[in-house]
Chains A and B, each alone.
Chain A
Amino acid sequence: MTELEVKINRMAIEKHVENIRRGLSTLPMLTHGRPGGLGNLRWTADLLLSTYFMASHGRPPSNGLEYRVGRSRGGFDLLDFKVATDHEFINDRGIDLSIVLGRRAPSKSKKIGLPVYGGGMSFGSVSLNFMLSRALAARELDTLTSTGEGGYPIPLREFRDHVIVQVATGMFGVSEETIQLAPIIELKYAQGAKPGLGGHLLADKVTATVAKMRESVEFTSLYSPFPFHSVYSVEDHKKHVDWIKTMNPEALVSVKVSTPRDIDMVAIGSYYAGADIIHLDGAYGGTGAAPEIAKKNIAMPIEYAIPIVHKYLVSEGVRDEVTLIASGGIRTAYDVAKAIALGADGCVIGTAEAVAVGCTHCGNCEKGRGYQIGITTTDPELSAFISPEWGAGRIVNMYEAWKLQWRDLLARLGLNSIEELRGRTDLLIYRK
């Protein structure tokens, strides 16, 4: 490419970036109405637009956009709290929103400023700029983000205290060095969007850089194996946890599992194997690419898995020793609060962070150059649509709006901290 061509290309990108940023501010104002093709039952147009609004303004919208629930006719969308809320938010800064990760070894426990942290999105499934946006935001918010299973890009190391290293079945980019970098190591046994199947990265997105990071072949689809072929029993699982703890004794170990019928047994097994965090990833979780049959049909939704596991861990007398984290279809501040009321300690967020920087939930992440405004792409031109600072600003703003909603809700419920909400199903009502 000549210098002039590069310059012209940059001009075109600048034009589009300017337009997109303006659009993300304009659309939630509803000046042009709700775009007809936007949204679906889970991520409705209102949820998408209100997330854009929160990411721009740091507070929820007050123009009639529904920012709390979708229209999926079940789960979080039919659960509600027994208190009325309105648009006059009670912003009591004395309410504690932090949670403690890893309680069984107090010397290793880690406190994060929010009841949420960022979920694994691999380099390759998303752009480096989006990964950096998330990491910057995590540092600013005193929480964490995760590498996903695509390796640990060098620029991310600046944020190492806020970056979870994921060890998944493909073992892409996993080395002793990256394991030793992390405050938390996440053993990914399964993913909610494709339970029992392992990761997918289709050929178009496996560029030279991605292939190098994953030590694979350019433009060849990568299907991670399933399961870990070193783990066929809970005893093998314990060896895995021990292996991680030997390499990095200071790190907390998180075990990410999907939600099978015997999820309570899986959770207790992980506890006895030494896990500090049990991370349940429910059936309706996000993904860069997954078979349609798996997304819809395999494993149970997170709304059911949380109380089943929480109650079982309580009955076994170990609930307070382990941190229970939920993910998979958690879209809003209210979903997080409901998940905690059902029994989780906190949640992992993925898609909502992508929506904050302009994802439309269109589902084109798997194909060709990926999503065309720089989130789920490996295309250098499209990646340039997001700058880490701009992306981080939007993610931080979205969480500021969530904080406002959590504080308001907890104040109305008469609670002083988000930890007090855990397992309080008596505060919920099921509108079915």
Chain B
Amino acid sequence: MSDPATMEHGSSRAEFHDLYPPYKRFHIETKTAPHRKQIPNPFYPRVRKVGLVKIVLNDFLRYGVKGFRKEYRNAVLSRPCIYGVFDSKVGGLMPRRQYCTGCMRCVLEYPNVCSVDRNPEFARFGDSYWVPDDPSLAFSSPMWVVNYEASTGKIPIKGMGFKGAFAGDEWDSMWTDMSEIVRPTRDGVHGREYISTLVDLGRKPSVVSPGESSEYRVASIPVPILFDFLPGSLANDSVQESIRLAAERIPTIFVDVAGLIAELPKSQLRSFAPLIDEGFGDMEWERLARVAMIEVSEGMFDRVSEDIRESAPGVPVFLRLNLRRGCKDKVAELERVVDGFHLIADFHGREFEVDSPRFVKDALHEIHIGLVELGARNETTLIVGGGIILAEHVPKAIIMGADAVSIDTSLLVALQAEFRGDVRSRRSKNVKHESFSPEWGAQRVVNLVASWHAQLIEVLSAMGMRDVRRLRGDVGRAMFNEDLEKEAFADIDRA
């Protein structure tokens, strides 16, 4: 390829574009990918049949003889629902429960005949982290929201104010900041200004020293969300293939077993992060230089680090660490040896400790601060995974110190896997699979990430922040319930 500086006058347009590709703003293409399986409606309308018959008879009596005329049927049989629950031919005798939005109009009109209760099927979803105890939050529950995002790619918008608890212990113990008068704000959402969500994963020197070779090994992804490794017990072939395809299209990075390196097409190698863990046998080392990044489990690092550096000197290497007490010291010890850390909590966001496991945001923040104190934070990368199941968890994790997040059970929910109880551990057997088209699956995952990307921009735009990288560790952009409570209620007596 010729050098643009010396390109001869009259070079072809195609040649010019090879050298200077036209600018294209990052955008994720979404397409509706309807649910394969109907999600149980959170509401369960019931109609007492005898009461219903009485109502209809009363209405006929109310309108007298003309009530029996065909033209007047619309008034006589007019139903107390605009969402279609009573729109079957037999109306309330066979309510179409899946259409109920819980508006309660039928109950307001006929409290002695109609009732709308919580649907026990919805509550039986299985995983307590995904369906809150309080059934009134059904349409705001992670399960409902992620399914909506995966099917539409849109931002969930609802009427009325927030319906949930004042604050919680985990992600809900913090609020993100906003500003009344700064840019870029909402215009960023609509693309008139650009808010960057690109992150660099790997090692970067803090200072560039001319004449000296510096270590620079990074993989850049346009959205700070990776797909974490899901073992075969949690993800069947359809799930795995959907995730790989989605990662290629977005593009982002997926973590999977290293042995896969031989099977993947070239196009997917660029999105692949091979995981070298205890199950590692052998692999095609020569293909390693083409992957996005390499992830090594703690126990394997000493065994393979030399081979990796020799085979793929320019590829960032991450150490996969299960979060527990002592991780801060481990990170401090190895921050010069590896290019970054992938910190893993369990699927409910807890450390792998028997006694009082901390929530992922607190464990992460401790490690982030440890690196700041060492003066090494800007040179290495922290990816955090486990317990990140909603769009809002992404900016919150970044505020607490992560450069990027990895997601796991969200992928399963987006792909409509069935949870038969809590799925807290990566060894869980509580996930039931079905086969499906990877095209459908990939679109669901692409939609999910597109929706989260748009929501990340909304949160950044509310702060007037132009680049997600600036948000990392910026706790000044968050408000914590504990701090606000102390500040605002300091002079109020406690019971």
What residues make up the interface of A, taking CB atoms closer than 8 Å to B?
A: 4-5, 8-9, 11-12, 15-16, 19-20, 23-24, 26-27, 31-32, 35-43, 72-75, 77-80, 82, 189-190, 192-193, 195-198, 200, 202, 223-228, 231-234, 236-237, 257-258, 260-261, 266, 283-301, 303-308, 328-329, 342, 351, 358, 360-369, 371-373, 376, 382, 425-426, 428-432
- Decide: B495 and A431 in contact? CB cutoff 8 A: yes
* Residue of B175, B185, B495 contacting most chain A CB atoms (<10 Å): B175
Within 8 A of A (CB), among B156-203: 156-167, 172, 175-183, 185-187, 189-190
Q: Per a CB cutoff under 8 Å, which of B156, B163, B461, B463 touches A361?
A: B163
A23→B182 CA distance, assembly (Å)? 48
B171 to chain A, nearest CB (A): 8
| Interface residue B74 (Cβ < 8 Å from any Cβ of A) | yes
- Decide: A196 and B185 in contact? CB cutoff 8 A: yes
- Decide: A298 and B187 in contact? CB cutoff 8 A: no
A4→B47 CA distance, assembly (Å)? 31
Within 8 A of A (CB), among B451-485: 455, 458-459, 461-464, 476-477, 479, 481, 484-485
A237 to chain B, nearest CB (A): 7
| Interface residue B108 (Cβ < 8 Å from any Cβ of A) | yes
| Interface residue B75 (Cβ < 8 Å from any Cβ of A) | yes
* Residue of A192, A288, A372 contacting most chain B CB atoms (<10 Å): A372
Q: Mark B48-85, 1 if CB is under 8 A from A, else 0.
A: 00000000000100110000000110110010111100
A367→B104 CA distance, assembly (Å)? 16
- Decide: A298 and B175 in contact? CB cutoff 8 A: yes
- Decide: A362 and B392 in contact? CB cutoff 8 A: no
A197→B458 CA distance, assembly (Å)? 7
Given contacts A73-B165, A362-B160, A364-B159, contact A20 B175 (CB under 8 A): no
| Interface residue B155 (Cβ < 8 Å from any Cβ of A) | yes
Pull 24 A–B residue pairs with CB atoms less than 8 Å apart, ordered by A.
Answer: A20-B108, A31-B111, A35-B111, A37-B104, A41-B134, A41-B163, A72-B165, A190-B178, A192-B161, A195-B178, A195-B462, A196-B185, A200-B157, A223-B190, A258-B178, A266-B180, A292-B145, A296-B392, A300-B479, A372-B82, A373-B105, A426-B491, A426-B493, A429-B493
- Decide: B155 and A291 in contact? CB cutoff 8 A: yes
What residues make up the interface of B, taking CB atoms closer than 8 Å to A?
A: 43-44, 59, 62-63, 71-72, 74-75, 78, 80-83, 101-105, 107-112, 115-118, 134, 136-137, 139-140, 145, 155-167, 172, 175-183, 185-187, 189-190, 390-392, 396, 455, 458-459, 461-464, 476-477, 479, 481, 484-485, 487-489, 491-495
A354→B164 CA distance, assembly (Å)? 19
A376→B105 CA distance, assembly (Å)? 14
- Decide: A283 and B134 in contact? CB cutoff 8 A: no
- Decide: A289 and B159 in contact? CB cutoff 8 A: yes
B453 to chain A, nearest CB (A): 12
- Decide: A35 and B116 in contact? CB cutoff 8 A: yes
A426 to chain B, nearest CB (A): 7
Chain A residues, Cβ within 8 Å of B476: 261
- Decide: B166 and A362 in contact? CB cutoff 8 A: no
Given contacts A15-B75, A42-B163, A351-B161, contact A37 B186 (CB under 8 A): no
Q: Per a CB cutoff under 8 Å, which of B82, B181, B189, B396 touches A233?
A: B181
- Decide: B494 and A429 in contact? CB cutoff 8 A: yes
Given contacts A37-B117, A296-B164, A430-B493, contact A225 B186 (CB under 8 A): yes
Interface pairs A-B: 6 shortest CB-CB? A74-B166, A196-B462, A365-B159, A226-B186, A40-B136, A37-B116
- Decide: B186 and A27 in contact? CB cutoff 8 A: no
A75→B477 CA distance, assembly (Å)? 22
Chain B residues, Cβ within 8 Å of A35: 104, 107, 111, 115-116
Chain A residues, Cβ within 8 Å of B81: 372
A298→B459 CA distance, assembly (Å)? 8
Q: Per a CB cutoff under 8 Å, which of B107, B165, B479 touches A38?
A: B107
B43 to chain A, nearest CB (A): 5
- Decide: B462 and A372 in contact? CB cutoff 8 A: no
Q: Which residue of B lies closest to A354 (CB)?
A: B160
B115 to chain A, nearest CB (A): 6
A38→B489 CA distance, assembly (Å)? 32
- Decide: A301 and B161 in contact? CB cutoff 8 A: no
- Decide: A292 and B156 in contact? CB cutoff 8 A: yes
- Decide: B156 and A291 in contact? CB cutoff 8 A: yes
Given contacts A41-B165, A292-B140, contact A363 B111 (CB under 8 A): no
